[in-house]
Structure 1
């Protein structure tokens, strides 16, 4: 049974260097607020497996791309699943948590994603393009992403990669969900300044688009971020579905919206730790 004040192990890498953002500030802010409800300790992702037995749940937040510590992360997953440790987000995610295969699967199934294939042999399945985006199938945080001319695609797309046409889009927009409930949206009006985010007034059509992917993932608990781009024809296309440790860009929200998110996040964690909701 959980303690009177639930005990959380909050996994984060406070030293992780992200382009254009300070991930550590977000986790310092969130943990300061969560301490009003939980007994809480922070740890580096490399230490999570060794420490997690002493807590009611493990919260994986801004821990950085797992590519930098893949074997340790795999061991953490294996141990958590074997012992039944409650991990938030749950380890059943089908999107970025499991790699980029989902982009191939969703594209083949006709979902509104940027058209994606895994081999130059399948380029005929993509719309014609002058440039292509090539990125590792197990990539994260734009690591290894390249934009190459069509004439160089055969040489560039080797190994386990994803290939997409380079889409000419109006802006990028992200939709943030907690336990399947929409919380807020942010967008980058200038595609050349993708980290300068502003609150975005999501329409009913926007939310229908985003919910389609949240429903597909069927995660049940936790935080998800649906990243999309607005094509020139006005439609949205999925860029990625982040279900492992999505950065929340809380600094881009007004104070009232940040407070509302903290309240929702705290309530979600309380339900998760106490087992008030069915396991995902």
Structure 2
């Protein structure tokens, strides 16, 4: 009796991308091996995704580096996917970093617990006083274009394509990882000066209520989301970034139970995503 066909999955990654403090290639090589247990899978570079995607049931975008490095090819792939109904995971209707950092303005205006953000000189008065301010492109990623400036220099930079935030004095940064809308694990950087050195973090109910608000706001039914936050000196959590395109997962830092739980959840999510009408 013939075996049912296995779903075909194209994993988009850049195995050679030189990420600071993170081994993109190692993570995606390991993850690909685990996904092959249930999917017929191939890997390709983001520059080849549009040409190859039509032969697969879904495209999984993983550690492909910032879109800025291949913006034209990504825009063409995205337009092709939307026009043809190609299944892309994460789905392309996310409201977080996949759409640029303008969501920080929306969340600020809506009163969410986020680092206050403006993009116009006439709105600079809305930001609290701080020793310096972070200025970064709306289309930025991986700290590309990030500067720290005194308040008197910020106004001249705000032209609608740049965001400004007060530089927060925080105790540590923490990331919450979700598959679909289910929390899987959390990691944090105990030393603010060594933000790539992560350790396991025991999330409290209050932490999960915080992170869950942003996952719900984003509205993705399927997908992997990383909610990045900082803990202020006063103990408050503030959103730093809502990564919903290709978040690095730091799977090598997890214990076996957490890692296996994540893989099982991702497989379930991908199967449901591919099977949906």
CA distance in 2, matches of 1:214, 1:122: 27
CA offset at residue 255 of structure 1?
2.1
Q: Which residue of 2 aligns with 1:52?
A: 53
Helix, strand or coil at the partner of 2:38: coil
CA offset at residue 232 of structure 1?
1.1
Q: Which residue of 2 aligns with 1:21?
A: 22
Q: Which residue of 2 aligns with 1:226?
A: 227
Helix, strand or coil at the partner of 2:249: coil
> What 5-or-longer segments of structure 2 have no aligned partner?
none
CA offset at residue 153 of structure 1?
2.2
Helix, strand or coil at the partner of 1:64: coil
CA distance in 2, matches of 1:218, 1:194: 28
Question: What are the superposed Cα offsets for residues 91-128 of structure 1, whole Å, 9 maximum, x if unpaired?
Answer: 11011010011001110111100000002221110111
Question: What are the superposed Cα offsets for residues 173-229 of structure 1, whole Å, 9 maximum, x if unpaired?
Answer: 000000100000000011011011111100000000001000000011010000000
Question: 2:97 touches 2:242 (CA, 8 Å); kept in 1?
Answer: yes
| 1:19-168 equivalent positions in 2, closer than 5 A | 19-157=20-158, 160-168=161-169
CA offset at residue 155 of structure 1?
4.4
CA offset at residue 157 of structure 1?
4.3
CA offset at residue 150 of structure 1?
2.3
CA distance in 1, matches of 2:127, 2:79: 37
CA offset at residue 159 of structure 1?
6.0
| 1:176-187 equivalent positions in 2, closer than 5 A | 176-187=177-188
Question: 2:232 touches 2:238 (CA, 8 Å); kept in 1?
Answer: yes
Question: What are the superposed Cα offsets for residues 17-68 of structure 1, whole Å, 9 maximum, x if unpaired?
Answer: 1111111111001001111111000000010000001000000001111111
Question: 1:148 touches 1:156 (CA, 8 Å); kept in 2?
Answer: no
CA distance in 1, matches of 2:231, 2:122: 28
CA distance in 1, matches of 2:151, 2:122: 14
Q: What value does the CA root-mean-square deviation take over the aligned residues?
A: 1.2
CA distance in 1, matches of 2:272, 2:111: 35
CA distance in 1, matches of 2:87, 2:174: 31
Question: 2:119 touches 2:159 (CA, 8 Å); kept in 1?
Answer: no
Q: Which residue of 2 aligns with 1:194?
A: 195
After TM superposition, the structure 1 stretch with the greater mean CA deviation from structure 2, 266-275 or 164-173, is 266-275
**TM-score normalised to the size of structure 1?**
0.95
After TM superposition, the structure 1 stretch with the greater mean CA deviation from structure 2, 23-32 or 151-160, is 151-160
Number of positions where the alignment pairs a residue of Structure 1 with one of Structure 2: 274
CA distance in 1, matches of 2:155, 2:213: 34
